[in-house]
Chains A and B, each alone.
Chain A
């Protein structure tokens, strides 16, 4: 392998890592600002201008807090829990296409850490590993509330993963590929998948809420019943990691939604921009568009959190198994019929 590729990929990985961290950091501030806005308050405004330094102050506070450990035999697992949560939250960003090809220094640069054939499956795989962080941490805490929270998180994620996988299958039948790069390239202009697969998008969105443990699906850390859920026993930066992982997950799942259903970096008039202003400028606009979409979905997560109350546990399971899974199977059947009709139409030349 030639060294320029290694340098290029390392730079992309570093930048993506930094962006994910910064986005997660400022999501915590945005969350509090949005909450304040929805509740007619001002929100944090002391650190820096308009509270812009609040995330740094929070981080400093978490780092300097006392490290408390429960009396547990599984000290190692207690440490590993937050680490797994954080690393799986960051791993997903490796396969996301952040933009189209750049043409710099006489060569094409693809804004993607790695373009693997099975990118979408990779995302699902990493997500299913992510629950281990919560489960291990909750179990190793040696606390019944933590364990309850962890068991809830695990069963919720297992239930909603099924519906999520099935909703993606309908999308895959249409796109015919698992590579996120190709899926992004298939949605030029306004041909976004959401217009062709609205039901699939709807199911995927609900499941994404459940997978990130956000309200109305945050039964894992339901404070009125479980104190703090799986992170009850955690303090200092270990708890910070769990909270941070949640925001990183939110950013990544917003990105996945934007890439799968909302055309990724595509925007109407992209061809015009490529023709008149060149590839690179069109791409910069594309990246800005992608981030605008991502920010909208992060805002949507917060909007829902401060609007809709938490489900009851039986309602959650009912929604997952009896509503979303049958709906996504119906969606697969409808998609299949439409594809078959089109093929027959092509075959007989209608």
Chain B
């Protein structure tokens, strides 16, 4: 167990350090790169939990997402000036409060999810394999799964609609 504990400690340290660096570095590109390393170490945590599928999907999704963030930073920000935008105090307070609320929800989710994991372990099924995961997602959690995909689809269509130029009436 001790090797796993050491790996976990190293990974956790990397995750926390890179997360802080992502927030504190002044250059937006550097913070995007720190974020990449942070997400990779989170994928490492998934691997420690023996969840290969989640780890790989995490890397695929977030490396693509951060690449887009990277591109936007290059294209939309003026990189020559390292100017920091000062947000009003009420916005910052709001951000902190909403983050705390998210934490409460997450804690509730984790507390609830523990017995379900236990159930899968006790039935002896390899609950990390894709086959089991797919069956669970599309049987027991069919409706939330479909809702999530509809949400993503709506966001996608909305983006396309917004980015299309409106036809000017003449």
By a beta-carbon cutoff of 8 Å, the part of chain A in contact with chain B is: 77, 116-118, 121-122, 124-125, 128-129, 131-132, 135-136, 139, 147, 151, 154-155, 158, 161, 178
Q: Tell me if B19 is interfacial: C-beta within 8 Å of chain A.
A: no
Q: Is B14's CB within 8 Å of the partner chain A?
A: no
Q: Tell whether, in the assembled complex, residue B53 and residue A117 are in contact, meaning their CB atoms are under 8 Å apart.
A: yes
Query: A128 near B130 (CB under 8 angstroms)?
Result: no
A116 contact set on B, CB distance < 8 A = 52
Tell me, yes or no, whether B158 is within 8 Å of chain A by CB: no
In the bound complex, residues from chain A placing their C-beta under 8 Å from that of B52 are 116-118
Given contacts A117-B52, A151-B71, A161-B64, contact A125 B59 (CB under 8 A): yes
- Is there an interface contact between B71 and A154, defined as CB atoms closer than 8 Å? yes
- B74 and A147 form a contact (CB under 8 A): yes
What residues on B are CB-neighbors of A139 within 8 Å?
A: 29, 74
A132-B63 CB under 8 A given contacts A121-B56, A121-B57, A139-B29: yes
Chain B residue contacts of A132, Cβ below 8 A: 36, 63, 67
CA distance A77 to B63 in the complex (A): 17
Cβ-based interface call for B68 (8 A): yes
Interface of B toward A, CB cutoff 8 Å: 29, 33, 36, 52-53, 56-57, 59-60, 63-64, 67-68, 70-71, 74-75, 128-130
Q: What A residues does B57 contact at CB under 8 A? A: 121
Smallest distance from the beta carbon of B145 to chain A beta carbons, Å? Answer: 16
Q: Is the CB of A128 within 8 A of B53?
A: no
B59/A154 in contact, CB under 8 A: no
12 residue pairs of the A-B complex, CB under 8 angstroms, read: A118-B56, A121-B56, A125-B60, A128-B59, A128-B63, A129-B63, A131-B67, A132-B36, A135-B70, A139-B29, A139-B74, A161-B64
Question: Could you say which of B53, B64, B67, B70 contacts A121, with CB atoms under 8 Å apart?
Answer: B53
Complex alpha-carbon distance, A128 and B70, angstroms: 14
Question: Of A118, A131, A154, which is within 8 A of B130 by CB?
Answer: A118
A139 to B57, CA, bound (A): 26
| Bound CA–CA A121/B54 (angstroms) | 10
Q: Are A125 and B67 in contact (CB under 8 A)?
A: no
User: In whole angstroms, how far apart are the Cα atoms of A147 and B74 in the complex?
Assistant: 9
Q: Is the CB of B59 within 8 A of A129?
A: yes
Q: How far is A135 from B73 in the complex, measured between Cα atoms in Å?
A: 13
Are B33 and A125 within 8 A (Cβ)? no
Chain B residues whose C-beta falls within 8 Å of the C-beta of A129 in the assembled complex: 59, 63
Are the CB atoms of A128 and B60 closer together than 8 Å?
yes
Given contacts A117-B130, A178-B130, contact A135 B56 (CB under 8 A): no
- In the complex, the 3 A-B pairs of residues with the closest C-beta atoms, listed nearest first: A121-B56, A125-B59, A125-B60
A158 and B53 in contact, given A124-B60, A139-B74, A151-B74 (Cβ under 8 angstroms): no
Give complex CA distance A39, B70 in Å.
Answer: 41
Which A residues are CB-close (under 8 A) to B75? 151
**In the complex the two chains form, is A158's CB within 8 Å of B68's CB?**
yes
Nearest neighbor of A138 in chain B, beta-carbon distance: B74
Minimal Cβ-Cβ distance residue in B for A172: B130
Q: Which residues of A contact B128 (CB under 8 A)?
A: 117
Q: Which residue of B lies closest to A126 (CB)?
A: B59
A155 and B68 alpha carbons, distance in the complex (Å): 8
A146 CB to closest chain B CB (Å) equals: 12
- B67 & A154 in contact (Cβ 8 Å cutoff): yes
Report yes or no: B63 in contact with A154, Cβ–Cβ below 8 A: no
Q: How far is the CB of A126 from chain B (nearest CB, A)?
A: 8
Q: How far is the CA of A121 from the CA of B55 in the complex (A)?
A: 10
A176 nearest CB neighbor, chain B only = B131
Instruction: Check if A121 sits within 8 Å of B33, measured CB to CB.
Output: no
